[in-house]
Structure 1
């Protein structure tokens, strides 16, 4: 791990390249990594595995918060998502020098979720999140705006984000149910293990309580049923948030996004109050290269891959999709979110 002499804290906070990377709950401190635009672009996610060679310094959370508040950075924008729905692609689309930078799953937000999962003091959770929101809002360069895409495990903290920043502008992004299930199925054991881990976290964070399912019910679920239950839990949260915050929250699904990228980016730019060249972005690398490996990847290829996933796992996906629709009807969860970005 690279270390450097710490610059004066006020200087560090003014330099947006010093990413607020981790929250040290034991020391109540913020760890920063020096991440320039090229490393932001190169990183799939802002995690240790991709940044641990970069210089790191740490400072007390309270001191960092005071300096960030004095700086008064522009309000960040958020892309919340329910996974496997082109969220990384959309965050990459907001790498617009002079206007915005997309922050892809900053690890400090996962640290705060971890604190809550371990039963941390709610006051410390809120204080850590407040500091993280101020610090992540700092422009990477000049007057740019931060467009933050948290990991979807952070979704249960969305009400707390809105409690701390009621005027923040948010996009809620999801994949339609059937393509989501097919995506999990074609990822085989890795996808199936991931949805079970997510389900455990959603249960611990109280997101499955409304379903009325016992521990035995949840244990007996197949992998794709667990995937669908997690999808419905996030869908219910998104539906509630969009209905309660019509002025600041919009929604879109991945199929609509990929079918109309220029229109979607233009509408999202308006929602985020950012001046964007939507046509250029839709024709650029965010929409023409794979978000994970950088290879050439078109909307048609993505659609064909999704269709293959559905075809290979057609019977299982069909059974679970029907089961999910019945459960959604019973619980009053809509499969289509309100406040759509595209109409």
Structure 2
């Protein structure tokens, strides 16, 4: 059996420069423990190797039910949500596989002369990667892929390839989102890195008319990204309600049973699994590092503190969004 034929081996890294893909063996425990499927999940004794990109692109992979997905705006509880879904028997989660981020970075430039991946090749790789990740290990029947927040530009092409796709679109209200970002320089940087693609999408929807990225402060870039994703998510959910369910993280925390019931219905999960999800240990743990206690009260305390400490930056971001809503009143419903 070749590594590509074995679902234990995951496409772990894509290298467009050397035109290779790294496959690594990861068992169910490793997948469950990994908050990120990138270098942080590598073990010293990792088993795997590099294959030519064409081998993945042209492989015939065993069919599997297409993975469900969590797309999100970043730092809004997506890791916790993915762990709650693992409370359902037979569900395995893959969190932020690195090749998806590589493809998302390449996608806007694939028509340009210096692109290392041709447009038909990016299409084929997206389809093959999703097929490979969709294959559950023995004992599991469903896979849920939590994408990196910078991968939202792949939602539309993925839907075009996967007519049975079911996905959750996760975000949160503006003020707590800004507070969550501004308390961490790394989080602000994540949002700023994604801001370029988000601004292009805001322009594509007709709401970015006079906005230039270089003229925005960091809090404004964070707020612009929030608005751009709200516009994107609303358009997707309105056009394809059978494929996309919008989820508000604050609503999940406040009304977990109702939100989890809606999620179970959307993903065709056994409604009896909601009870197990409500009792999942993940509620009382830091989602990205399960050995650290971090419950609802901790989240609320940290958020209140961030609201205080970063009040000026939050106000700056909110003012930018308010000005955009005045310019485009039809966006009021999204705020």
My pick for the range that moved more, 25-34 or 77-86, is 25-34
Partner residue of 2:257 out of 255, 258, 262: 262
- Offset from partner CA, 1:284-332 (integer Å, 9 cap, x none): 1221211122211211221221122112222431342133133135333
Residue matched to 1:3: none
Cα distance, 1:32 vs structure 2: 1.1
How many angstroms apart in 1 are the aligned matches of 2:274 and 2:327?
Answer: 40
Work out whether residues 232 and 328 of structure 1, in 8 Å CA contact, stay in contact via their aligned partners in 2: no
Residue matched to 1:89: 80
My pick for the range that moved more, 314-323 or 74-83, is 314-323
Partner residue of 1:246 out of 228, 241, 262: 241
User: How many residues are matched?
Assistant: 322
Residue matched to 1:164: 161
Work out whether residues 92 and 140 of structure 2, in 8 Å CA contact, stay in contact via their aligned partners in 1: no
Work out whether residues 93 and 286 of structure 1, in 8 Å CA contact, stay in contact via their aligned partners in 2: yes
Quick one: structure 1 residues 13 and 296, their matched pair in 2 at CA, closer, same or farther if it must change by over 3 Å?
Answer: same
Residue matched to 1:135: 132
Work out whether residues 79 and 149 of structure 1, in 8 Å CA contact, stay in contact via their aligned partners in 2: yes
Residue matched to 1:46: 37
Residue matched to 2:191: 195
- Offset from partner CA, 1:172-206 (integer Å, 9 cap, x none): 0001111001111211x333333222213435xx3
The answer to whether 1:313 aligns with 2:307 is no
Work out whether residues 281 and 287 of structure 1, in 8 Å CA contact, stay in contact via their aligned partners in 2: no
Work out whether residues 231 and 334 of structure 2, in 8 Å CA contact, stay in contact via their aligned partners in 1: no
How many angstroms apart in 1 are the aligned matches of 2:70 and 2:174?
Answer: 19
Task: For structure 1, list consecutive stretches of 5 or more residues without a partner in the other structure.
Answer: 1-7, 338-343
Task: For structure 2, list consecutive stretches of 5 or more residues without a partner in the other structure.
Answer: none
Work out whether residues 87 and 280 of structure 2, in 8 Å CA contact, stay in contact via their aligned partners in 1: no
Equivalent residues in 2 for 1:273-288 (5 A)? 273-275=268-270, 277-288=273-284
So what's the TM-score if we normalise by structure 2? 0.88
How many angstroms apart in 2 are the aligned matches of 1:68 and 1:90?
Answer: 32
Work out whether residues 71 and 168 of structure 2, in 8 Å CA contact, stay in contact via their aligned partners in 1: yes
Residue matched to 1:56: 48
How many angstroms apart in 2 are the aligned matches of 1:127 and 1:334?
Answer: 38
The answer to whether 1:304 aligns with 2:301 is yes
